[in-house]
Amino acid sequence: MRTCIAMFVAILFLSGCKQANQGLPSGKWIDLSHSFSEKAIYWPTAKSFELEVVSAQHTEGGYYYAANNFSAAEHGGTHLDAPIHFYEGRWTSDQIPVDRLIGAAIVIDASEKGLADRDFQFGEQDFLDWEANHGRIPDDSIVLLKFGYAQYWPDRLKYLGTDKTGEEAVAELHFPALHPDGAKWLVANRKIKAIGLDTPSIDYGQSKTFESHQILFKENIPAFENVANLDQLPATGAHVFALPMKIEGGSGGPLRIVALVPDQQ
């Protein structure tokens, strides 16, 4: 029984583990999620996070009892974009296989370009440049693009390019993301499990057609947006665990994403 449990844990949490009795390697856990609160950044037209305190008191029974209600849009804070979000007939949040959300990560540092140009889009040549220094992107990787924008959280003006809300704010969005040509190159030439980044969207702020979403989601490649603390991860070697709220039929949802960086890194 213990062997079965150990094997399950190893397979689920470490795709690179070959022997179940090895367990998890020693290392450092990095939380890649921003906390959900009224300060969390949501798309300007989306319903922001709200927390309603139901109870926070000592009861007549002599014990303390805390409970809350919360409400929010699917897409805000650190969250999952399920493929159905921009491509009909693809996976909903609850349909994404767990093994597509867990795996070895590569982290591509594009912060120099992203911080210098709020409208920068990471393209095919940028991927090739990274591979020239780090080697080919391994099959079944989770690709994480670091633009350096997590440092601005939760300042909406610095993070989004505008502190307005509603439809009028959409035209003023300026932040870097993945170029459609980069998305096309990935799906045509590399086999990845998922992609994430530390800005609000896989498409840059001024996008009107969300092509990168469409290209990736057609191939059932989920996305993680508003990821935190990518500056604490190495370019290669970390393992990512991205477990979203399992919303039946959902187009996305709140995400708790963490990474394990083994000691040898």
140/146 Cα distance (integer angstroms): 19
38/60 Cα distance (integer angstroms): 31
CB half-sphere exposure, 160, CA atoms < 13 A: 21
SS3 107: strand
Tell me which residue of 258, 257, 253, 248 sits closest to 70, measured CA to CA. Answer: 253
100/95 Cα distance (integer angstroms): 11
The residues annotated as belonging to the active site are 85
Cβ neighbours around 256 below 10 Å, total: 14
Q: How many distinct helices (H) and strands (E) make up the chain?
A: 7, 12
What kind and span of H or E run contains 238?
strand 236-244
CA distance from start to end of the chain: 33
* 103 Rama sector, left if φ>0, alpha if ψ -120 to 50, beta otherwise: left
Sign of the alpha-carbon dihedral angle for 211, 131, 115, 165: positive
